[in-house]
Chain A
Amino acid sequence: MMNSFDNLSRRDFVKLCGTIAAAVGLSDLFSIEQIANALESAAKKPPVIWLEGQDCAGCTHSLISLEDPTPWTFILDEVSIRYHETIMAAAGSLAEKSKEDAIKEGGYILIVEGSIPEADDRFCTVGGRTFKDILIEASRKAEVIICAGSCSSFGGIPAATPSKGVPVSKIITDKPIINLSTCPVHMDHITGTILYYLLTRKVPPLDKHKRPLMYFGSYIHDNCRRRAHFDAEEFLTDWNDPDQKDWCLYEMGCKGTETYSDCPIRKWNNGISFCIDAGAPCQGCAEPGFYPGFSPLYKSI
């Protein structure tokens, strides 16, 4: 079955699969034919439940920031989004029923955005239930859990607040978990991880913090285009000086030497830019210590 691609020729369809794979960095891992076949043979669109705990919806916004494929391709054609508070048409009990039905059927990808308040469960409730209960219930029949962003991966900024946000892995210990830990989640990381899982039904190789090595395999510093200036000890100290504008940001507080992510290669927002390109030091948002562990942000480590 060809999902919603009926009006495409096989040639167009394969071409589209190639675009998707290239956009999210999977073209080195799978042949375009493999991807096309996997998409075609899917009996039905894989169901997704997306839960929001102590979140800011930034990861949701990142998800819909991909240019190619368009957000519509992902939301309507690739997966069946059975529950997502920010996107779905339904509200209230109608929305909750959609989630309950999906949970009953099982076999879904569970995506979690936001942390879980440890200080008191009542710091986050949805539909009259604590978020912790909702997460535990939804995890039972999930095939895999993908943590979108720093908060659900490591507790993130809420970890250091009075509500004491904790990551999913602290609550759920009997399910495969994939942490995509930047703040917000990288649009390519979330889309590519979902696609990887759909193609293989496997968790990609992970590091010790459960982050996919395909995205978090090397230090930002190792791939930084300002690296030569670091080696030459040319450090930016004045953002106004055009001569310094491409120099190393270490003195301004860059955490690229301690942070694993492929940001310098992949960049953000469809390859437009990323923190260091914009003269802004990397603040270590992919790491478990983010944010308090890296404060003060604008002083060298």
Chain B
Amino acid sequence: MAKRITIDPMTRIEGHLKIEVEIENGKVKDAWSTGTMARGFEALLLGKDPRDAPYVVSRFCGICFSVHQVASARALEAAFGAQVPPGGAHLRNLIMGAEYIYDHMLHFYHLSALDYIDIMAVADYQGKDRELNNVKGRIMELVRQNDVYPLLPRYKPDEYCVSDPEAAISAVKHYLDALRMQVRAKNMGAIWGARTPHYQSIVVGGFTQYPDLNQVARFRSMLDDLNVFVTEIYIPDVMAFGTGPLLPLAKAGLGAGHLNYIAYGSGAGALDESGNRLFKPGVIKGFKDPSTMKIEPFDQKKITESVHSSWYKKDAPKHPYEGEQVFDLDRENAYSFVKSPRYENTPMELGPFARALIDQNPTILDLIKNQGFRPGVVARHAARALETKRLISAMYRWLDELTEEMLKPGFKIHDKEHWEPPAEGEGVGFFEAPRGALGHWVRIKDHKIANYQAVVPSTWMSSPRDEHGQRGQYEEALIGVPVPDPENPINIVRVIRSFDPCMACAVHLIDPRTNEIRRFTVE
């Protein structure tokens, strides 16, 4: 007899998510993913000055705010015919990089790691290290006060949790160190972003802050600290977990789901679009192993969104620009505010692991070929950590290039000639956000926003079933996951958190007025 359990709220993610599963013989037999909050941002933008959009859409999400700012600015730049000067592009690149670093580190240590560490094992630490004993002292003091919130209560640790006292206490120390380091990354972003979260300096056509060399030096100094932490702590921790206690989960491919992957490929920063892309675009369907993996070119025209199981007025699947969705909270059989994006009717995974496969990242391919890793929870964490290092290397390059630009006569950060909104226009802006491929579409009429639409990575992955009965990636990834004790569904939260869900981003409402077929040029 199948037993149904519900996890609501799904915590340590961004936003409001409910997960329901049916368990039979200790394994998940079926699953449902539900976005339980909606605001309706895009409708708010209709009739507004298009230049407002990057500022407003930043508020989709307080964690991955600037990705929306940049995608929105790019869509508008296409519509305005604006060109971001190299100076403005480098500055955007650098603050986007700062966001990537803090977002990825925070995800591993503060949103995920508590599922892999038996935090109470620190009590048994007998070593002499002064700093580790200080950590032990602090945790034990909380225990003595009988107040270990918010670290307790928790699901009971299982055999995959790090329970060796030495390893556990190091991990807890790194959890605390990472709290400080994510502040450092936010400070770094604020040097040119004005403040973190919600940067202020990204505008249509470029950037608002004229930089100076002191800021470059300050940024570089902070980047040095973060580079040390990511290289010497974050990546080694993820690798030690992944090839240590979690190796059985990595080999079993826990939480793999549909083995379809997509990246739009416009890497961090406008400059990377002209030649030196950080991430490649591509599509992989039905991944089996690296030797037979086929990477197809990405074509944005093949994206559709379904509202089959969503609380919107019934409609057939449509390209992001053709849809006619209005809320219908009473619709029968609907169970989520999230729509169901599909590529050629196929559910996809996006994000660091998808990018690593499409980029044919040698370290990830080596983990698969030689360490026995399969796609899934552990591979996602590994890809995210390795990608952070790639970003940092690129940021050093951008800093050098920015400095070089700054010293040239006529240094520019903004396209002033294309600042006024055109009477008519349309455009799409893509960005590879920390959680995966992101697209914003905009249409301008009478100098105002006539339509606005964003298709967001977490929408793809947290989506409900489509008209073909295909589950979204979160749902599919849960099928077969072992849940030996329904009171302690620790594997379920591990699977869901490995995607780094961002539900405030995932839920959108678009305007009922658009029913034309829209065409957009893809880079």
| Chain A residues engaging chain B, CB cutoff 8 angstroms | 3-4, 6-7, 44-45, 52-62, 64-67, 70-72, 75-77, 80-98, 117, 120, 122-128, 131, 156-158, 160-163, 165, 183-184, 238-240, 242, 245, 268-270, 272-275, 277-280, 283, 291-292, 295-299
Q: Which residue of B lies closest to A50 (CB)?
A: B150
Q: How far is the CB of A279 from chain B (nearest CB, A)?
A: 4
In the complex with contacts A4-B142, A86-B14, A184-B62, A269-B182 CB distance below 8 A: no
Chain B 161-192 near chain A by CB (<8 Å), digits 1 or 0: 00000000000000010011011101101111
B52 at the interface (CB under 8 A from A): yes
* CB-contact partner of B11 in A64, A85, A125, under 8 A: A85
| Contact partners of A75 in chain B: CB under 8 A | 150
A-B contacts besides A61-B186, A296-B49, 5 pairs, CB < 8 Å:
A56-B61, A64-B183, A66-B183, A124-B37, A165-B39
Docked pose: A82 CA to B56 CA in angstroms: 32
| Contact partners of B451 in chain A: CB under 8 A | none
Which of B121-129, B194-202, B353-361 contacts the other chain?
B194-202
In the complex with contacts A3-B145, A56-B62, A72-B176, A184-B150 CB distance below 8 A: no
Q: Which 7 A/B pairs are nearest by Cβ-Cβ distance?
A: A58-B62, A278-B194, A296-B49, A268-B195, A280-B200, A279-B208, A269-B190
Contact A58 B198 (CB under 8 A): yes
Docked pose: A4 CA to B149 CA in angstroms: 13
Docked pose: A85 CA to B55 CA in angstroms: 26
Which residues 93-147 of B have a CB within 8 angstroms of A? 110-111, 114, 119, 134, 137-138, 141-142, 145, 147
Contact A240 B145 (CB under 8 A): no
In the complex with contacts A66-B183, A91-B10, A268-B190 CB distance below 8 A: yes
Docked pose: A64 CA to B138 CA in angstroms: 19
Contact B43 A161 (CB under 8 A): yes
In the complex with contacts A92-B9, A297-B52, A273-B154 CB distance below 8 A: no
Q: Which residue of B lies closest to A75 (CB)?
A: B150
Docked pose: A246 CA to B7 CA in angstroms: 52
In the complex with contacts A239-B210, A279-B210, A298-B203 CB distance below 8 A: yes
| Contact partners of A165 in chain B: CB under 8 A | 39
30 contacts between A and B (CB under 8 A): A56-B61, A56-B63, A57-B61, A61-B62, A61-B186, A65-B186, A65-B197, A67-B184, A70-B176, A70-B179, A71-B179, A72-B176, A84-B150, A87-B150, A91-B12, A92-B8, A97-B153, A120-B327, A124-B16, A158-B40, A163-B38, A184-B197, A239-B206, A240-B416, A268-B195, A272-B191, A273-B190, A278-B201, A296-B51, A297-B55
Docked pose: A52 CA to B36 CA in angstroms: 12
Contact B190 A279 (CB under 8 A): no
Contact A64 B182 (CB under 8 A): yes
| Contact partners of B190 in chain A: CB under 8 A | 268-269, 272-273
| Contact partners of B416 in chain A: CB under 8 A | 238-240
| Contact partners of A82 in chain B: CB under 8 A | 149-150
Contact A58 B44 (CB under 8 A): no
Q: Which residue of A lies closest to B505 (CB)?
A: A56
Docked pose: A47 CA to B152 CA in angstroms: 14
In the complex with contacts A183-B198, A277-B194, A124-B145 CB distance below 8 A: no
Docked pose: A3 CA to B39 CA in angstroms: 41
Contact B154 A89 (CB under 8 A): yes
Q: Which residue of B lies closest to A115 (CB)?
A: B39
